Amino acid sequence: MSTPGFDVRRVRADFPILHQEVRGRPLVYLDSAATGQKPQAVIDALTRFYTHDNANVHRGVHILSERATQAYEDARESVRRFINARDAKEIVFMRGTTEAINLVASTYGRKHVGPGDEVLISAMEHHSNIVPWQMVCDAVGAKLRVIPVDDRGELRMDAVDALLTERTRILAVTHVSNALGTVNPVRELVRRAHAKNIPVLLDGAQAVTHLPVDVQDLGCDFYAFSGHKLFGPTGIGVLYGRLDVLEAMPPYQGGGDMILSVTMEKTVYNRVPHRFEAGTPDMAGAVGLAAAIHYLESVGMAAIAAHDQALLTYATQALSAVPGLSLVGTASEKTGVLSFTLADVHPHDVGTILDREGVCIRTGHHCAQPLMKRFGVAATARASLAFYNTPEDVDALVRGLHKVREVFQ
């Protein structure tokens, strides 16, 4: 298997963690949907920041603070360019996708959702895009409605129009399912929602690692993703919001840097995006995220997407040939994720035996318990691919699965 213009061996050389043995075997890392590994460029950027530039931002007149502030705001511009936002003010740094969705739910949601209103999500959402909306609905007396999923793991688009009603205040849906790999038709969802003046939030945590993302082309009002899944540091993430929407939203948290002036009688809030970034931000995380973005851009997102699709095709064929294995999620548009069950073997047992073979996968409900219930399983085994994975990694997974079968026979 080869992808024109893409050299996976060269890519792998940039990820030091991949060049090790675990349990006496070469490491095969197939858990990138949980967190991506870090290229040397990101590790070096973090070391360089802490070694040379570490200081708090926006508050100092000394040279280190000036350099740190410049690096932090340059990172915001890097994110803007990466997802093609119109303005760097539309980029809010968060701790991750979870906090970004909670911000929208707690500010936009609590301002616009009232008694008898509805919030529309899908049956394949991560808990991070379910629980915050449940909390809003419980607090104000609104109703959470759900777009169903068919047996292949695709959204029931025939049900969408009926679910988008005059009471719908926001549609919040994942771009790519973390548990199935389904790529949702988000442009069409945005089009239908906007036709009824309903704003749309997209959970892009899984999408940005596999697909070129252009928020202007998608047309969404909000887009959220995490740095650690994008091969950057943990503890940093992004909320994109249309500038006019963000400017009409109240702050999420109170504290330093989100203010212009404070008296005991009144506080005047800062401009967007700083209004939503209370306290000392993750400066190093932003710098590391920018380094990850620059690295991905140097490889090329189109080349990464082509390699991911070729590897997914190879892996789907290979796993489908394993006796007793059933794939969960067979959408026509997929990327990066293979969820499966293996005969009568519990997924945790599958994962434990694979670990002994040096193969790292994820097992469990993947923070998508309603989706597991929809498919009639308590858990699945999940192998998730990234652009540093190879056909040999897939072959090692298949050999490990045959080992699982031998043990349980």
Give the alpha-carbon dihedral of 17, 22, 28, 29, to 10 degrees: -50
Nearest to 393 by CA among 34, 30, 31: 30
Buried b (16+ CB within 10 A) or exposed e, 28-45: bbbbbbebbbbbebbbeb
DSSP letters, 42-86, are HHHHHHHIIIII---SSS--SHHHHHHHHHHHHHHHHHHHHHT-S
Lookup: tokens for 366:
């993947």
Cα angle for residues 111, 98, 175 (degrees, 5° grid): 95
* Three-class DSSP category at 98: helix
Q: For tokens 């002994």, what's the residue?
A: 356
| Cβ contact 179:368 at 8 Å | yes
Residues with a known catalytic role: 367
Give the alpha-carbon dihedral of 338, 343, 344, 348, to 10 degrees: -30
Return the number of other C-beta atoms located less than 10 Å from residue 313's C-beta. 12
Q: Give the bridge partners for 119, in sequence order.
A: 144, 170
Cα angle for residues 247, 220, 199 (degrees, 5° grid): 65
Nearest to 76 by CA among 351, 274, 355: 274
The span from the CA of 65 to the CA of 70, in Å, is: 8
Cα torsion 340, 343, 348, 352: sign: negative
Give the alpha-carbon dihedral of 65, 71, 75, 77, to 10 degrees: 100
Strands (E), 311-350: 325-327, 337-342
